[in-house]
Amino acid sequence: MMKFNIVLLLFFFSACQSAHKEESAVGKTEAKAMPDWVNTRPVDGGYYVGIGYASKKSFPSDYLEAARKNALNNLAAEISVNISTESVLSQLESDNLYKEQFQQDIRVTVNEQIEGYDQVEAYETKESYWVYYHLSKADYLERKQKLLKDAVNQGKDFLLKARVYRNDGRFKEAAIAYISGIEKIKNYLDQSLETDLENQKVFLGNELFNGYRSLVNEIVIDSETEVFRVKMGDAGIVKFTVKNGDGKLMVGVPMVAELKKQMHSYSEVLSDATGSVKVELGKVSRQTQEQYVSVQLNVKQLLKESGASAIVTKVLNLANPSPDVVHIEVQPVYVMVKSVEKNNGHPVVKNILDMALREGLAAKGFISVSAIEKADLLIEIHGESSDAGSSQQSDFQFFSSTLNVDVVFKNIKNMTELYQTSLHAVKGVQQSYDKAADDAYMKAAKKMKMAVVDDFVKVYCE
């Protein structure tokens, strides 16, 4: 029993010593002096240096990752980005805005390429965490040169393919090859990329970019007319023809058509076997604002099929060819109204329904004519009111009239019925039968001018 107690005491003593050592270690860590590199950036001619900081309060669960990212960004900032005068980006510096945008994009690609860095040291307190990375300049340059060589070789392969496709008249394949080649050298668009190609010295980026630009600008889109005239309510088709610079019809070229009527709509099409692109307008409503149809090369589709990155997309969007635009001119529709309006079998003095319908149609762009040979539409109105009895209220006697109206819209060309509606039992009440009939006609006229006209226009134009 005595032996057992001695062993237990020894174990307890050992545990206390271990705990004391751990507490001492923690105390030493927290009391560790702040290293010089936290406040004074190290200078090392053979290394790129990156210092990253993160607040534990701001990033309680991922302060290590936040500090790492900041350190790598800081390291990358030491790697200079200079745009060569023979590079692709130098061609696009039309103003300082583009220059700054593309330099920032290149900076992002530099960050993505950083590998082989080492952590020199880390320092932390209860509130903060710092990390110190460095990257060998020699190692970085060696790796960059290898990646550059591989990128140039792949870019050259795509350039040669693009030229072959272009000579064969295979536009889409040539465009995709140019884009794919630019994608391979996207990390070096700021450099001249001088290389040998078919026994010539060329700047690869410029060859790819200029080849793509000349290819897409070679496309000629011709429309049959600059202004397409169509009567309101009619449908139409606008035809465009796709050719190359030599006037040869181009088949299977991805195009995008934009139709602007009340709203914008877009459709993606390929030029057909005759090199044509046909855009269906659908029914055309009254022209209250500019309406048009345009067709242009579907660069977005080419970029999608090529798997182009954001920076390549941005570069090539600056070389987009212009669309061909056809304006839509909506012609008015001429209508002739024939109205028969009676009360108790006798013609009324004023054709109230006739006037109301003409006013409502005029507000929608329809023009009334008196000669049937000038009309596009014939509208027939038949209204018949009749006495419907009287009633006594206090000292006043009121008389009622009931009106029924039939309206038919017809196409003059073939006299087919386009629209028909009726107003049943429209009731008028006044102090005489004649005034009651007038009241009924006035109520029907309001419905004709608004509801009937609106319903007809929806059927006719939509």
Tokens found for residue 294: 């345009």
Last residue of a domain, one of 331, 357, 384: 331
Q: What is the pLDDT of residue 111?
A: 66
Q: What is the pLDDT of residue 109?
A: 66
Q: Is 25 domain-assigned?
A: no
Last residue of a domain, one of 138, 153, 173: 138
* Cα-only R_g, the chain: 41
Q: Is 189 domain-assigned?
A: no
Q: Which helix (H) or strand (E) segment is 437 a member of?
A: helix 433-447
Residue 429 forms beta bridges with which residues? 400
Give me the phi and psi of 192, to 5 degrees please.
-70, -35
Quote the number of domains for the chain: 3
Residues sharing a CB contact under 8 Å with residue 153, sequence separation 6 or more, in sequence order: none
DSSP one-letter string for 126-159: SSEEEEEEEEEHHHHHHHHHHHHHHHHHHHHHHH
Q: Is 79 domain-assigned?
A: yes
DSSP one-letter string for 194-253: EEEETTEEEEHHHHHHHHHHHHHHT-EEEES-SEEEEETT-EEEEEEEEE-TTS-B--S-
Same domain membership, residue 340 and residue 269: no
CATH label of the domain that carries residue 436: 3.30.160.180
Same domain membership, residue 292 and residue 399: no
Q: Helix 433-447 crosses helix 352-363 at what angle (to 10 degrees)?
A: 20
Q: What is the pLDDT of residue 7?
A: 42
Same domain membership, residue 122 and residue 46: yes
Q: Is 393 domain-assigned?
A: yes
Distance from C-alpha of 115 to C-alpha of 142, rounded to nearest angstrom: 12
- Say whether 425 sits in a helix, a strand or coil: strand
Q: Is 150 domain-assigned?
A: no
pLDDT in tens, the chain (462 residues): 444 444 444 444 444 444 443 333 333 444 578 999 999 999 888 999 999 999 999 999 999 999 999 999 898 888 866 677 787 777 776 544 455 666 666 666 666 668 889 999 999 999 999 999 999 999 988 988 999 999 999 999 999 999 999 999 899 999 999 999 999 998 888 888 999 988 889 999 999 999 999 999 999 999 989 999 999 888 889 999 999 888 899 999 999 999 988 777 889 999 999 999 999 988 888 766 788 999 999 999 999 999 998 888 988 888 888 899 999 998 889 999 999 999 999 999 889 999 999 999 999 889 999 999 999 999 999 999 999 998 888 778 899 999 999 999 999 999 999 999 999 999 999 999 999 999 999 999 999 999 999 999 989 987
Same domain membership, residue 420 and residue 359: yes
Same domain membership, residue 428 and residue 376: yes
Q: Is 280 domain-assigned?
A: yes
Same domain membership, residue 285 and residue 358: no
Q: Is 12 domain-assigned?
A: no
Same domain membership, residue 59 and residue 90: yes
Q: What is the pLDDT of residue 310?
A: 86
Helix ranges (DSSP H) in 342-389: 352-363
Distance from C-alpha of 109 to C-alpha of 101, rounded to nearest angstrom: 13
Residue 401 forms beta bridges with which residues? 387, 428
Same domain membership, residue 348 and residue 326: no
Tokens found for residue 53: 């900081």
Sort residue 199 into left (φ over 0), alpha (ψ -120 to 50) or beta. left
Give me the phi and psi of 252, to 5 degrees please.
75, 25
Same domain membership, residue 346 and residue 278: no
Distance from C-alpha of 63 to C-alpha of 218, rounded to nearest angstrom: 54
Same domain membership, residue 271 and residue 254: yes
CATH label of the domain that carries residue 291: 2.60.40.10
Q: Is 69 domain-assigned?
A: yes
Residues sharing a CB contact under 8 Å with residue 294, sequence separation 6 or more, in sequence order: 257, 258, 260, 323, 324, 325, 326
Same domain membership, residue 369 and residue 254: no
> Nearest 5 degrees, angle CA 302-CA 303-CA 304?
90
Last residue of a domain, one of 138, 172, 195: 138
Same domain membership, residue 376 and residue 327: no
Range of the domain at 234: 220-297+322-331
What is the per-residue burial (b if ≥16 Cβ within 10 Å, else e) of 423-449?
A: beebebebeebbebbbbbbeebbebbb
Q: First and final CA of the chain: distance in angstroms?
A: 104
Place of tokens 């710092």: 130
Tokens found for residue 67: 């500090």
HSE (CB half, 13 Å, CA atoms) of 333?
A: 29
